[in-house]
Amino acid sequence: MPRKRLLLIDDEEPFTRLLKLNLEESGEYEVRVENEGLQAVAAACEFEPDLILLDVIMPDADGGEVAALLKTHEKLRNVPIVFLTAAVSKQELSGPSGTIGGRVFVAKPVNKRDLVEIIERALGAPS
């Protein structure tokens, strides 16, 4: 069974490094990391991920703008995006994740168990 490809876009390098290690540990995911928001679109076009984990607040670009750019590409249009961010709290989301304005948010910090569950749910659901 081919590994599911996840594109992780976040400016926090230590976080992306550790998360990549954790997600790839099981062998079910291939994770590509991109630490700059504006370069992430090109990387996504090249990588063609099954799901994108996108930070909201980054130095060079806003998560929302990046998501809008990603949706402009035909092959990326249907790729689910999960916003992984420190800008929302679990209280706001009523749990580790939640939907705001039709978009899925995950509040940092999140443990691996919860994150995998969210990823699987997002991959299973039509985008």
Partner 1 sequence: MSLLSVAVGGAVLAGWTIDNATLKSLYPGLVTMKPNDALGLILTGGALWLMRREPVPRSRRRWGIFCALGAGLIGLTALSEYAFGWDLGIDQLLFRESHDVIWTSQPGRMAPTSAVNFLLLGTALALLDRPRRHWLVETLTLAVVFVSLFAYLAHLYALELLHGTGYYTHMAVHTAVAFCLLCAGILTSRPDRGFMGIVASATAGGVMARRLLPATILAPALLAWLGFVGQRFGYYGTVFGLALLALATIIALSILVLWSANSLYRVDVERARTEAALRSHRERLQLMVDGAKDYAMLMLDAEGLVQSWNPGAERIEGYGEEEIVGQHFSRFYVREDSIAAKPRRHLTFAAAQGAMEDEGWRLRKDGSRFWANTILTALRDEDGRLRGFALLMRDMTDRMRIEEKLKDANAELSHREEALRTALSDATKTQQALESAQLQVVQTEKMESVGRLAAGVAHEVKNPLAIIQSGIDYLGDRNDGDPVRKEVLNEMEYAVTRADRIIGGLLDFSMPGTLEPTYEDLNAVIDRALLLVKHELDRSRISVARAMTPDLPPVWIDERKMEQVFLNVFLNAIQAMPHGGTMSVKTWVRPSAETGLPIGSRSSKVVRHMGRVVVTEVDDTGTGIPENLLRKVFEPFFTTKPTKKGTGLGLTVAKAIVEMHGGMISLSNRARGGVQVLVTLRTKGAADDASQAIAADR
Q: What does the binding site for partner 1 look like in residue numbers (CB under 8 A)?
A: 12, 14-15, 18-19, 21-22, 25, 57, 86-87, 89-92, 94, 107-112
Q: Packing angle between helix 40-47 and helix 63-72, nearest 10 degrees?
A: 40
Nearer to partner 1, 21 or 38 (CB): 21
Q: How far is the CB of 76 from partner 1 (least distance, A)?
A: 25
Q: CB of 74: closest distance to partner 1 in angstroms?
A: 32
d(CA 29, CA 38): 24
Report the residue number, 76 or 115, with the smaller CB distance to partner 1.
Answer: 115
Helical spans, DSSP H, in the chain: 13-25, 40-47, 63-72, 90-93, 112-124
Cα–Cα distance between 114 and 98 in angstroms, integer? 12
In 3D space, the residue among 68, 53, 43 whose CA is nearest the CA of residue 15 turns out to be: 53
- Shortest Cβ 125–partner 1 spacing (Å): 23
Side chain identity, residue 98:
G
Least distance in angstroms from the C-beta of 110 to partner 1: 7
Between residues 38 and 100, which has the closer beta carbon with respect to partner 1?
100
